[in-house]
Amino acid sequence: MMQYTNPQIPEGINTSQNHPLKEFFILTAGVIAIVIVSFYLLIVTVDFFADKIPFAWEQSIPVDALLESETSEVPPYLESLTRQVAADMTLPDDMQVTLHYVNSETVNAFATLGGHIVLHRGLLEKLRSEDELVMVVAHEIAHLKYRHPISSASHSLLAMMLLSLFTSSADDILNRLMGTSGLLTLMKFSRDYEYNADAAAVDVLLHRYGHAQGAVGLFDVFKAQHTGGEPLEFVNTHPLTERRIQRALSLAEQQSGLSAEQSASKNLQPLPVEFTEWLAAESADK
């Protein structure tokens, strides 16, 4: 007679013994690291090639058609100030700066594809001196000079493609995790852009006035804005205002040889009366 027995089979042959929490943390960290590293590489590569895209090609993107609808006429004072600042900044030969003005409460200014700079009345009203106005304009022109608009546009586009590749088979929450870590990487670069633009603008201030108090003044405006609780468009993609002040100050100190106290005593150039009157009229007009 054949023998039938049923010995107990030891545990753990069909299951793995590593701790689930350990696996969880390693995998989560791995996913985040992969996203950050690939975004980082992507951005660095894009930035390398962004400079080589001809400006004429960028200009052919019909951005101004989108802007035209809300913009109004730019006063001659702003126009000529922009020309002067642009002349100070040694832009690439083929680059043309076009200034736009929007009569709205928004406290914002931005530079976009095709060499367009948009100033909102809300921001202009907050400014108390020409130095601050020059700081704003020079900052935006610096974005154009360094080709930041085309870089960021390519970043967003390629980042979206990369992310959709990653998230093809994953679930919702993982998608969001990857999206967020990707976005944070993009923001890191965006903040670097802001520092670069700030530095270029501080140079212009030093060249025009011999000191960079305009930068401090402008950042004070931002600070007042933050405590007021009104959300600026500058929140995440831009560095903390306090930190920007520090950088601008130390840069100004290095370049001009003036200490912070010495610069603080410098007077700011007032805005011309015709400009402030024009602003008041615009405001009443709205």
Partner 1 sequence: MYDLIIFVGLLLLGYGFGRAAEAGHYRSIRKRERFLNRIPVIASRIPPHGEPNFDSLLVSGNVVISVDYFKRFVATLRNFFGGRVTSYESLLDRARREAVLRMKQEARAMGATMVFNIKFETASIHKGHGNTIGSIEVLAYGTALIPNNVEVVHTANLMR
Partner 2 sequence: MIISNLEVIPGKRIQQHLGLVQGSSVRAKHIGRDFMAGIKNIFGGELRGYTELLQESREEATNRMLAQASAVGANAVLNVRFSTSSVATGAAELFVYGTAVILE
173 binds partner 2 (CB under 8 A): no
Residue 2 binding partner 2, by CB under 8 A: yes
Nearer to partner 1 by C-beta: 3 or 69?
3
- Rule CB under 8 A: choose which of 5, 17, 18, 227 binds partner 2: 5
* Run of H or E residues at 150: helix 148-166
Q: Which of 143, 124, 126, 145 is nearest to 81 (CA)?
A: 124
Of 7-15, 20-28, 35-43, 239-247: span binding partner 2 (CB under 8 A): 7-15
Helix (H) or strand (E) holding 118: strand 116-120
Which of 13, 87, 173, 281 touches partner 2 by CB under 8 A? Answer: 13
Residue whose token pair is 């690939």: 38
DSSP annotation string for 81-113: HHHHHHHHTT--TT---EEEEE-SS---EEEET
Under the binding rule (CB under 8 A), the answer on residue 1 touching partner 1 is: yes
Region near partner 1 per CB under 8 A, out of 24-32, 110-118, 198-206, 278-286? 24-32
Q: Which does 165 bind (CB under 5 to 8 A by kind): partner 2, partner 1, none?
A: partner 2
Coil, strand or helix at 116: strand
- Cβ within 8 Å of residue 12, ≥6 positions away: none
Contact between 3 and partner 2 per CB under 8 A:
yes
Closest to partner 2 by CB, 6 vs 227, is 6
Residue 190 one-letter amino acid: S
Tell me which residue has tokens 């007021």.
228
Residue 169 touching partner 2 (CB under 8 A) = yes
Closest CA relative to residue 127, chosen from 282, 281, 269, 284: 269
> By rule CB under 8 A, what count of residues binds partner 2?
15
Q: Quote the radius of gyration of the chain (alpha carbons, Å).
A: 26
Integer angstrom CA distances of residue 29 from 67, 181, 220: 42, 11, 39
Is 165 a binding residue for partner 1 by CB under 8 A? The answer is no
Q: Binder to partner 1 among 173, 273, 281, 284 (CB under 8 A)?
A: 173
235 binds partner 1 (CB under 8 A): no
Using CB under 8 A, pick the residue from 166, 179, 184, 255 that binds partner 2: 166
Dihedral sign for Cα 268, 71, 105, 151, please. negative
> Judged by CB, which is closer to partner 2: 17, or 227?
17
End-to-end C-alpha distance for the chain, whole angstroms: 104
Among the listed residues 10, 20, 229, 257, the single contact to partner 2 using CB under 8 A: 10
Does 6 bind partner 2 (CB under 8 A)? Our answer is yes
Interface residues with partner 1 (CB under 8 A)? 1-2, 4-6, 8, 11, 14-16, 18, 20-21, 23-24, 27-28, 30-31, 34, 166, 169-174, 176
